[in-house]
Structures are given as C-alpha cells and as structure tokens.
C-alpha cells in the first residue's frame, strides 16, 4: 500500500478558488472518480474527483480555504498497482458555460509531476449527495435561493447527477405555497431558510428584566414577519413641496375648528394617494393566492397606522374617494380615538387597499415601511422641514416633506413605482390637480 498525495488538477483559468464542500473525512473509503471536494468561483462550481481507490488518511484543506491548480488537498492510501498506473489527468468537472473548453491534460510519472499523475478523467457519474454533500448547485442557483430564502439542503435536485437547478427551487417554493409540501418550520423551507437566533442568557452580563409582549404586538408581529418573508419588498424614496398645501390647511384651520374638526396634513395626503391609485390601478390591488393573477379593486379604502400605548394598529377609512376633507378629518379623529381606547372592532380593521404610516409628527428623515399584505403597497410619511429651493433666480424657503413607498415587486415594477411616487408628489405640491 502507498500513501499518495492528491492535488488540485487543471481547473482552467481560475485561481484562488474557494472550497465550499469537503465531501470526505479521514478514514473514508473512496473509489475512483468519487467526488472529494467542491470548489466554487464566481462563475462555476467544480468537483474534484478521486484519482484512486483507497482510504483517506489525511485532509489538508477545509471549507472556506482558497486553492489553485497544484495545491495539496489530501492523502489517499492506495494499492501499489493503483499508484503505479495513473490514468490521464482529468479536468475538474464544471457546471458553467463560462468555463474554458477542456484541453488535453499532460501525463507523467508520479515522481516527475505528482499533481498531474494523481488525477484521472471523470469517466462515470458522480453523486455528490451520496458522498455526503448537503446539496449541489451552481453559484447562480445558490444566489437565487438565498434571495428567496430557500434552504437548498431540503430541495430535491433533478438536474444531472442530482444537481439543483433554478426550476427545482421554484418547484419547492410552489409546493409550499400550494400546500403540497410542509409549511415553513416543518420541512422543505424550514424558517424560510433563515437560521434561528441562538438563545443567550443575558443575565450573565448584568441585571435584566423580562416583560411579556403586549397582545397587539404579538399579533401584529406575526403578520409583519409573514409579510417580510413572503413579499419581495422594494422601497422608493421621494419628497414633495407641500408649502401651498400647508398654507391652505392653515387658512382653513379656523373654519374647521368651528365644526370641531382638527385639520391635519394627513387628510390631504389621503386624497392625493387615492387620485394616484386611480391613475395606477396596480397599486390598488392584491395578488391571487397562487400569485398568478392580480386582483384590481374598484373601491378606495385607506389603512392608517396608529400608534397606541399597546402597539401599532391599522384601522381602515372607507370610501376615501367619495369623502371631502372635513368628513375624512372626522373619520380620522374617530378611528384614532377608538384605537387609543382599544375599542376598534374587526370591521374597523378590514377591507384596506393601501396603507399610510405617518411618523412626521415624531421626527425622522426617511424609513422603510413593511407592506401590509395582502395589500401590495404602503406609504411612509416623514417630518417636513423648511429647505432652500432654487426657483431659477434665487433660493427661497419651501416646506419639503420626505416620504417613501414600499411595494410588492411581483405586482409592481420599479418604473411604475417611481411614477407613482412622482405623481403623488405632484398632487401634493398643487392640490388643484386633484379636481381635474
């Protein structure tokens, strides 16, 4: 028996390639062409096969190491006959059209060129899962799965030699969504591919106090988490000049107070949003359960996020398109009071088409609100402030309000997203456009 070194074979033009899987352990018995390690560059995944049958006696690399052609990998205790009769040196098997076309590999005796002598052509299929690999996929598929939060260790690969392809990832997601596979936390997409946060005894670092979350936070937390995991969020940031709008509001303030109404900027934003929803119906919609259709709504109910001592709630103002500024102000005052008193009923929280979350009264410059699924978009309002704006000849003070819109990228494209925010900004800058 002879101990023979196995080195990295010819891997083309790649250099310093990362080791992403070590498929064997010391003491394992391997056959010719069994996979030993998997390398991954930014363009390809490559398997390094065993040049001999024998027992693994030493492993010199580990996951995360970077290797190049000729680098020492491991030792195999092979029979003298196997060590003395090397086959033609192989190329590492690669899954990518970006890899160079194979060229004839040199051959030589073990004493002249160990790296070349101790590799063989990959003549038979290699099953990476059989050799202990958790999964086998190309870099692009791995990136695709990471983006969607899919744990590839539970996805069945139907490509050549058990390789996971993008269609396999899509099939796994569809199976979970349709109920044909276990739900998150129970199988194929456990935790949506997100590892749990480890538990820590914080009392070891100092005094602590544990308080149970309130009922509202417990309930809303589940919905927010589900929305964040299931909706591919995009947030568009923008700002608008509300100088004239705020002046109009102040001019109407005295008349509104005589009727017991508190006139806030939010009601004007609601009217501008509804007009923009009419211009862009994809925002006033929801996706079907299977994600294959979009359900466009022909009513305009706006959810308003309200901060209460017990947590965030989102009551819904119905038929905003049919109501005037004063009537909307009364509705806002009523639902806000019910929210703070904890008296909102189920009907007060249902039927929303679009949500507005306003933090302008507290502060901040910009934030990213989470879509209130099954709605497809939500607006976040931040604190307005006076800024110098160039009017063509001089700077003049203008009241500028920053805002953002998060939306479901499955239903709304980026270009449509920015057109929507631009339209809202135009309406708020000139309220006269709302009557056109």
Q: Would you please indicate which residues are annotated as catalytic (active-site) residues?
A: 409
Token duo for residue 434 = 């709302």
Q: Which residues contact 204 (CB under 8 A, 6 or more apart)?
A: none
Helices (H), 130-283: 139-148, 166-177, 215-230, 243-258, 265-279
What's the rounded Cα separation, in Å, for the pair 167 and 170? 5
CA angle 23, 29, 32 (to 5 degrees): 80
Give the residues across from 306 on adjacent strands: 313
Query: Backbone phi, then psi, for 324, in 5-degree steps?
Result: -85, 180
What's the rounded Cα separation, in Å, for the pair 436 and 428? 14
Residues in the chain: 436
What's the rounded Cα separation, in Å, for the pair 271 and 424? 10
CA angle 344, 350, 353 (to 5 degrees): 130
Is 242 exposed, middle or buried, given 0-12, 13-18 or 19+ CB atoms closer than 10 A? buried
410 and 290 in contact (C-beta within 8 Å)?
no
What's the rounded Cα separation, in Å, for the pair 323 and 376? 23
Placement of tokens 């539970």 in the chain: 154
């Amino acid at each position: 028996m002879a101990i023979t070194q196995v080195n990295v074979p010819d891997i083309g033009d790649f250099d310093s390639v990362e080791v992403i899987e070590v498929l064997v352990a010391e003491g394992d018995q391997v056959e010719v062409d069994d996979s030993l390690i998997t390398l991954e560059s930014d363009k390809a995944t490559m398997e390094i096969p065993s040049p001999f049958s024998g027992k693994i006696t030493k492993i010199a690399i580990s996951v995360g190491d970077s290797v190049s052609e000729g680098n020492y990998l491991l030792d195999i205790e092979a029979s003298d006959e196997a060590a003395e009769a090397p086959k033609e040196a192989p190329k590492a098997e690669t899954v990518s059209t970006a890899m160079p076309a194979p060229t004839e590999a040199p051959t030589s005796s073990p004493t002249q060129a160990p790296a070349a002598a101790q590799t063989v052509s990959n003549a038979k299929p290699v099953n990476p899962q059989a050799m202990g690999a958790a999964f086998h996929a190309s870099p692009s598929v791995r990136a695709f799965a990471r983006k969607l939060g899919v744990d590839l260790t539970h996805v069945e690969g139907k490509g050549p030699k058990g390789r996971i392809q993008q269609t396999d990832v899509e099939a796994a997601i569809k199976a979970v969504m349709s109920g044909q596979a276990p739900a998150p936390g129970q199988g194929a997409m456990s935790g949506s591919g997100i590892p749990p946060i480890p538990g820590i005894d914080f009392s070891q670092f100092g005094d602590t106090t544990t308080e149970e979350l309130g009922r509202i936070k417990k309930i809303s937390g589940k919905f927010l988490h589900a929305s964040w995991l299931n909706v591919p969020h995009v947030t568009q940031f923008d700002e608008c000049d509300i100088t004239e709008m705020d002046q109009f509001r102040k001019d109407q303030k005295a008349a509104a107070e005589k009727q017991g109404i508190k006139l806030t900027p939010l009601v004007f934003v609601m009217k501008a949003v509804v007009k923009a929803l009419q211009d862009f119906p994809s925002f006033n919609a929801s996706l079907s359960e299977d994600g294959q259709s979009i359900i466009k709504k022909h009513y305009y109910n706006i959810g308003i996020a309200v901060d209460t001592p017990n947590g965030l709630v989102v009551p819904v103002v119905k038929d905003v398109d049919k109501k005037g500024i004063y009537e909307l102000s009364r509705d806002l005052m009523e639902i806000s009071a019910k929210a703070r008193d904890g008296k909102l009923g189920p009907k007060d929280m249902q039927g929303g088409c679009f949500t507005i979350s306003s933090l302008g009264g507290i502060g901040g410059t910009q934030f990213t609100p989470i879509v209130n699924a099954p709605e497809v978009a939500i607006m976040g309002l931040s604190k307005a402030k006076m800024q110098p704006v160039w009017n063509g000849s001089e700077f003049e003070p203008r009241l500028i309000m920053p805002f953002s819109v998060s939306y479901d990228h499955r239903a709304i494209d980026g270009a449509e997203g920015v057109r929507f925010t631009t339209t809202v900004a135009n309406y708020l800058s000139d309220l006269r456009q709302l009557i056109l």
